[in-house]
Each structure stands twice: as structure tokens, then as C-alpha cells.
Amino acid sequence: MDHDDFEQFYTASYQRLLWELFAITGGDLAEAEDVLQEAYVRASLRWNQIRTYQAPDAWVRRVALNLASSAARNTRRRAAALLRLAPPSGPELSTESVDLAAGLRALPMGQRQVIVLYYLVGLPVEEIAGQLGLPSGTVKSRLARGRKTLARRLGVAMAQEVQIDG
């Protein structure tokens, strides 16, 4: 593969093809860039053959258009599935639950996992340890650190003497 030749082709055709795909994707620049980059990757893998075409950019455009069409179909399918699987309406979110969610987002993932599994799901320490593949001592220390951080963030006094079983 002549790397310089492909690079020249890429540089000369990229902006024009991006503009075309931007319009085709309905102004979704990220989608246009994604499909165009994938099309160029595929072209680079076949460059020895594609470089002999009268219009190699037409090949890249066709591949990018096919990718954009597939992405649009997949998006429609996902949207239809989500509509079919829409959860039943539940209770309105309270201010407290929104605050709790914000506090949980501030925790490291490991602490967030054990806090949710222990306090919201109601799993015992040993079961959490088994599901996460952690020693029970690690689960207990994450619970303690997470509880302390969460209490500080929420501005509430959480009882430290909460019994952690297991």
C-alpha cells in the first residue's frame, strides 16, 4: 500500500465528503464523522485496489452512505424496542431521590455499587461480595467509606452504628 498516496487522497477528499455526510445525516456531525472515518478505514485496507478506480471518493461515499443507513435503521429499531419495553409509570421522583442520585454519582464506582446493593437492593454483605467477586472485608470497607462520603455530600448525619451483617 502506498501510504503517501492514500494520505493525499484522504486529505483532498475528507472535508468535501464530510460536508456531504453531514447533510445526509441531518446535521449530525458526530455521526457523519463516525461513518466517514469507518469508510476511510475500509478504503485504506483495500487501497491497492480502490486507488485504481476512476473515482475512489465515490467508493468511500458509498460505504459511508451504507454505514449511515445502517446506523439510522439500528437507531429506529432501538427506539421501537424501547417504546415497546417502556417501564410502567412509577412514582414521581422526590427531591430526596434526586439528591441521593447526585450523591451516589459522586462516589467511586466500587463504593456506589456496594451502597446500592446493600441499602437499596437489600443484599447482605456476603452476597454482595459473591456477586462482585470481592472479599467481604472489602465490601464492608467500601460501605463504610461510601456511607461517610454520602453523608457528608448530603449533609445528613448517618448513624455509624448501622449493623453491617456478614
Per-residue pLDDT of the chain (166 residues; tens, 9 = 90+): 567 899 999 999 999 999 988 888 878 899 999 999 999 999 999 999 999 999 999 999 999 999 998 888 888 888 888 888 866 666 666 777 777 777 788 888 888 888 888 988 889 999 999 999 999 999 999 999 998 988 888 776 544 433 444 4
Q: Do 20 and 60 belong to one domain?
A: yes
Residue 124 CA: distances (Å) to CA of 31, 119, 137, 148 = 44, 9, 13, 19
Q: Which amino acid is at 127?
A: E
Domain end position, chosen among 29, 60, 84: 84
Q: Report if pTM > 0.75.
A: no
Residue at a domain's end among 84, 117, 139: 84
For residues 56 and 5, give the distance between their C-alpha atoms in angstroms, rounded to a whole number: 12
Residue 7's identity, in one-letter code, is E
Q: What CATH number does residue 60 fall under?
A: 1.10.1740
Residue 164 domain flag: no
**Number of separate domains in the chain:** 2
- Looking at the fold, whether 79 and 99 belong to one and the same domain comes out as no
Find the length of the chain.
Answer: 166
- Please report, for residues 111, 122, 131, 142, the alpha-carbon distance to residue 165 in angstroms, rounded to integers and kept in the order given: 17, 11, 16, 14
Both 55 and 31 in one domain: the answer is yes
Residue 47: give the domain boundaries: 3-84
